[in-house]
């Protein structure tokens, strides 16, 4: 992945790289959702320095840091670094982080960067955004059912509880996998992908297994949990099903769907929840 980034950097200015994320004429945001971090990229018009982009990073649904990158300049402003002493802002070089720490006196920091530093840090921030987007897109895991069941115990209690959650599900042949998501207001939700969906006996087993598995998920996550749906995969190739599930999850909900099922919309809308990952048990 690093070679791809270097190749992109050698072929384009930082402005052209950023324009591939949010075009110069766009009024839309690029939103990247990760497990505990959200990134927004948008076009701005600075009152003094002109056009550019802003990168806003939130952690655990709370604003953490913002960067303003101005055309023909580079990184201009670092904003809202409430915890700069404990957590380094992502994407910046250690040298620049230390310079910010020495100069921070309020919520917006205008550092006396050299022009070379402004351009370098703009490219570093874009590297971070691009890497985050690639990681967010690559959240479908296909694992061997047998391999999952054979995994040894974990050291930490939370890690062990999460492993037992997955092993409990994998032990039921009618469970093909799950989608795990987090509500932005808090709480984990699971969509269960089921084979033999029309088999009443199999569905009875699945319900019992899921209820048992959630005891481990509750222990591992220390937050509210619940299952949103049992979805049939009968007659579908499972990896294609996973891709389609992800596509639908990431598709904005239409007004017609809101009217039909407002509770489902609340859970599945990308405005309200983040898809943490899809795990498929391969037989």
Distances in Å between the alpha carbon of 55 and those of 21, 29, 64, 135, 197?
11, 10, 11, 17, 44
Closest CA to 57 of 30, 75, 76: 30
Statement: residue 13 has pLDDT above 60: yes
The tokens of 190 are what? 């699971």
> Average pLDDT over the chain, rounded to whole?
82
pLDDT of residue 271: 55
pLDDT of 14-24, one tens digit each? 999 999 999 99
Q: Taking the model in full, what pTM does it have? A: 0.56
pLDDT of residue 17: 94
Name the DSSP class of 90. Answer: T
pLDDT of 187-239, one tens digit each? 888 999 999 888 889 899 999 999 999 999 988 887 788 777 888 998 888 88
pLDDT of residue 212: 93
Statement: residue 4 has pLDDT above 50: no
Measured CA to CA, the distance from residue 232 to residue 246 in angstroms comes to 15
Measured CA to CA, the distance from residue 161 to residue 168 in angstroms comes to 10
Classify residue 23 as left (phi > 0), alpha (psi -120 to 50) or beta: beta
Any residues with CB less than 8 A from the CB of 6 and at least 6 apart, and which?
A: none
Give the pLDDT mean for 148-176: 92
- Long-range contacts of 15-19, Cβ-Cβ distance < 8 Å, separation of 24 or more: 15/71, 15/72, 17/123, 17/126, 17/130, 18/53, 18/69, 18/122, 18/126
**Do the Cβ atoms of 135 and 34 come closer than 8 Å?**
yes
Interaxial angle between packed helices 157-170 and 200-221, expressed in degrees from 0 to 180 and rounded to the nearest 10: 170
In this predicted structure, which of 114-123, 165-174, 252-261 has the lowest mean pLDDT? 252-261
Name the DSSP class of 108. Answer: E
Statement: residue 82 has pLDDT above 70: no
The dihedrals phi and psi of 90, each to the nearest 5 degrees, come to: -70, 150
């Amino acid at each position: 992945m690093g070679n791809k980034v270097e190749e992109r950097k050698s072929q384009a200015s930082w402005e052209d790289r950023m324009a591939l994320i949010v075009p110069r004429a766009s009024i839309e945001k690029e939103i990247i959702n990760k497990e505990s971090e959200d990134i927004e990229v948008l076009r701005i018009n600075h009152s003094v320095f002109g056009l550019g982009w802003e990168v806003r990073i939130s952690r655990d649904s709370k604003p953490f840091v913002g960067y303003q990158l101005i055309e023909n300049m580079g990184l201009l402003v670092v904003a809202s670094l409430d915890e700069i002493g404990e957590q380094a802002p992502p994407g910046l070089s250690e040298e620049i982080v230390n310079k910010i720490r020495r100069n921070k006196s309020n919520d917006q920091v205008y550092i006396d960067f050299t022009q070379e530093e402004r351009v370098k840090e703009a490219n570093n921030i874009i590297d971070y955004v691009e890497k985050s987007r690639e990681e967010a897109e690559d959240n479908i895991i296909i694992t061997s059912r047998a391999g999952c069941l054979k995994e040894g115990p974990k050291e930490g209690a939370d890690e062990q509880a999460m492993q037992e959650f997955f092993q409990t599900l994998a032990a039921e042949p009618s469970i093909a996998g799950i989608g795990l998501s987090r509500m932005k207001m808090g709480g984990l939700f699971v969509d269960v992908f089921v084979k033999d969906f029309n088999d009443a006996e199999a569905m009875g087993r699945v319900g019992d297994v899921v209820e048992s598995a959630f005891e481990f998920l509750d222990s591992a996550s220390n937050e509210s949990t619940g299952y949103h749906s049992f979805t049939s995969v009968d007659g579908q190739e499972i990896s294609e099903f996973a891709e389609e599930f992800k596509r639908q999850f990431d598709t904005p909900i239409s007004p017609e769907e809101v009217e039909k099922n407002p509770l489902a919309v609340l859970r599945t809308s990308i405005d309200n929840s983040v898809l943490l990952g899809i795990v498929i048990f391969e037989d």
